[in-house]
Amino acid sequence: MEEINEKSNYCLNCKTKPCSIKGCPLGNHIPQFIEQIKQGNYKKAYEILSETTVLPGICGRICPHQKQCQGSCVRGIKGEAVSIGDLEAFIFDTIVDEEDSLLNCYQKEINQNKTNKKVAVIGGGPAGLTASAFLAKKGIQVTIYEKYDYLGGLLVHGIPEFRLPKEIVQKSVKKILQLGIEVKYHQELGKNLFLKDLENQYDAIFLSFGANQSSKMRVEGEELEGVFGGNELLEHNLHPNYNDKVVAVVGGGNVAMDCARTIKKLGAKEVKVIYRRAREQMPAEDKEVEEAIQEGIEFLFQNNIVKIKGKDKVEEVELIKTELVQKENDTRLVPVNLEGSNYTIKMDYMVMALGSQVEPYVKELGLQTNKWGNLEINENYQTSNPKIYAGGDLAGIKATVAWAAHSGREAAKNISEQI
């Protein structure tokens, strides 16, 4: 408790509030909820957070705080930033066992807004859960259609237990479902669930089933046995035996860190992260990188893959070193291969964690997509079918939980205003 008091009192409650206005994708009222912690009003702090988010226990743990709220903190200019994530998680953990705590925050609005309107939400990840909660807050009847037998999406199968305990996700989901939301499990678009049928039953549909197909490098040897997609590896948890094996993880984001750390914990002899840029350019959180280094994971910065070698399965990987150059009319540093710097290292498995793309069947939904395969949406989150909305990774929203949740909340706002 002393530590929490110290962390909350460190906040200056400054007038400009850059942590909230500039740093937080959800626009959480950060100084306000921290002020309530200072006064010991934890219930009020939770109420303030619930105005903008239904995932405080999750975002407080896994958001890239240094790149978002804490990265914009005034105190961080000359010293350490306020530990906003820790304080957000603390409030959720303090309130979570109070029955109907989220429902109590929303009950008055639910009663005032009661309507016969119905919305179907396809996918129970962060975007879908958030949209469902804010639609329910508007008195709308919500049904979530989920292909698995659990809700949470990547929060469950995309983020390892050591980073986000499943119990926290389950408790967060329970809070949301207490708003009166119905769930139908084992429902998958194109198999036993069809948009045309849903259009006849609901006033609007929100698509939020994510984009969890790993992107490919399209290098020679990528088709060999022993090459895995990072997203699929985490989602399906079908890991090979890593004992006494050398594994390379290609990529620099949090998925790459999650894969590398998971594989190391599963007994791999060596895990190497290959990233073609410098550490400062890694999208992964510094904390995740530091923890990976402490766990014995090796980083090969400014290295690019030329090809993966092997007769039937992975045996070696050929790398080439890169230099970072600034091209004309471009402020970014671009990695360029250094001719003649090729070298080869032995490898047993390769994991491609280079980003995500939507499943191919999305193109069969009859909705307009962009060149990357994401659903095109307008400023109201509507697809080319005005009755169907989309958010999260599926619509190409920035790939963090907070941004996915933001898209779900804003889509819910637009849906409630337009149906």
Gyration radius from the chain CA atoms: 22
> What pLDDT is attached to residue 331?
79
Residue 102 lies in a domain: no
Residue 42 structural domain: 2-95
In this structure, the answer to whether residues 20 and 123 fall within a common structural domain is no
In this structure, the answer to whether residues 256 and 333 fall within a common structural domain is yes
Summary mean pLDDT of the chain: 95
pLDDT band at 130 (very low <50, low <70, confident <90, very high): very high
> What pLDDT is attached to residue 305?
97
pLDDT band at 330 (very low <50, low <70, confident <90, very high): confident
In this structure, the answer to whether residues 189 and 236 fall within a common structural domain is no
Write the DSSP assignment of 237-248 as a string of letters.
------BT-EEE
Residue 28 lies in a domain: yes
What DSSP character marks residue 32? H
In this structure, the answer to whether residues 82 and 147 fall within a common structural domain is no
User: Is residue 396 pLDDT above 90, yes or no?
Assistant: no
Distance CA 395, CA 130 (A): 16
- Only one residue has tokens 């995932």, namely 55
Taking a C-beta distance cutoff of 8 angstroms, is the pair 160, 233 a contact? Answer: no
Contacts of range 161-170, beta carbons closer than 8 Å, 24 or more positions apart = 162/261, 162/265, 163/61, 163/62, 163/258, 163/288, 164/58, 164/61, 164/62, 168/57, 168/58, 168/61, 168/92, 169/58
| Domain of residue 322, CATH code | 3.50.50.60
Domain boundary pick from 336, 355, 374: 355
> What pLDDT is attached to residue 329?
78
Average pLDDT (386-391) is: 98
274-329 pLDDT per residue, tens: 999 999 999 898 889 999 999 999 999 999 999 999 999 999 999 999 999 988 77
Average pLDDT (135-150) is: 97
CA distances from 17 to 75, 89, 167 (A): 11, 20, 32
Residue 101 lies in a domain: no
Domain boundary pick from 40, 65, 95: 95
- At residue 394, the 3 state secondary structure works out as helix
Global pTM reads: 0.94
Residue 194 lies in a domain: yes
pLDDT band at 56 (very low <50, low <70, confident <90, very high): very high
> What pLDDT is attached to residue 132?
98
Average pLDDT (249-272) is: 97
Domain boundary pick from 41, 62, 95: 95
Cβ neighbour number for residue 78 with a 10 Å cutoff? 6
In this structure, the answer to whether residues 243 and 189 fall within a common structural domain is no
The domain tally of the chain equals 3
- Only one residue has tokens 């740093």, namely 23
Distance CA 30, CA 403 (A): 17
User: Is residue 200 pLDDT above 80, yes or no?
Assistant: yes
In this structure, the answer to whether residues 245 and 324 fall within a common structural domain is yes
Contacts of range 380-383, beta carbons closer than 8 Å, 24 or more positions apart = 380/414, 380/418, 381/407, 381/410, 381/411, 381/414, 381/415, 382/414, 383/207
Angle subtended at Cα 276 by Cα 275 and Cα 278, rounded to the nearest 5 degrees: 80
Distance CA 130, CA 136 (A): 10
> What pLDDT is attached to residue 210?
84
Residue 100 lies in a domain: no
Task: List the helix and strand counts (H, then E) for the chain.
Answer: 15, 16
User: Is residue 211 pLDDT above 90, yes or no?
Assistant: no
Average pLDDT (143-155) is: 97
Contacts of range 165-172, beta carbons closer than 8 Å, 24 or more positions apart = 168/57, 168/58, 168/61, 168/92, 169/58, 171/57, 171/96, 172/54, 172/55, 172/57, 172/58, 172/92, 172/129
Average pLDDT (125-143) is: 98
Average pLDDT (328-356) is: 93
| Domain of residue 18, CATH code | 1.10.1060.10
> What pLDDT is attached to residue 142?
98
Cβ neighbour number for residue 322 with a 10 Å cutoff? 20
pLDDT band at 224 (very low <50, low <70, confident <90, very high): very high
Residue 133 lies in a domain: yes
User: Is residue 160 pLDDT above 80, yes or no?
Assistant: yes
pLDDT above 90 covers what percent of the chain?
88
89-119 pLDDT per residue, tens: 999 999 999 989 999 999 999 999 999 999 9
Taking a C-beta distance cutoff of 8 angstroms, is the pair 29, 20 a contact? Answer: yes
User: Is residue 63 pLDDT above 90, yes or no?
Assistant: yes
> What pLDDT is attached to residue 372?
87
* Strand 388-390, strand 227-229: pairing: unpaired
In this structure, the answer to whether residues 176 and 266 fall within a common structural domain is no
User: Is residue 147 pLDDT above 90, yes or no?
Assistant: yes
In this structure, the answer to whether residues 223 and 199 fall within a common structural domain is no
Residue 320 lies in a domain: yes
In this structure, the answer to whether residues 207 and 218 fall within a common structural domain is no
> What pLDDT is attached to residue 244?
96
In this structure, the answer to whether residues 223 and 318 fall within a common structural domain is yes
Six-digit token string for 177: 């479902």
User: Is residue 418 pLDDT above 90, yes or no?
Assistant: yes
User: Is residue 62 pLDDT above 90, yes or no?
Assistant: yes
In this structure, the answer to whether residues 81 and 195 fall within a common structural domain is no
CA terminus-to-terminus distance, the chain: 46
In this structure, the answer to whether residues 115 and 194 fall within a common structural domain is yes
Residue 268 lies in a domain: yes
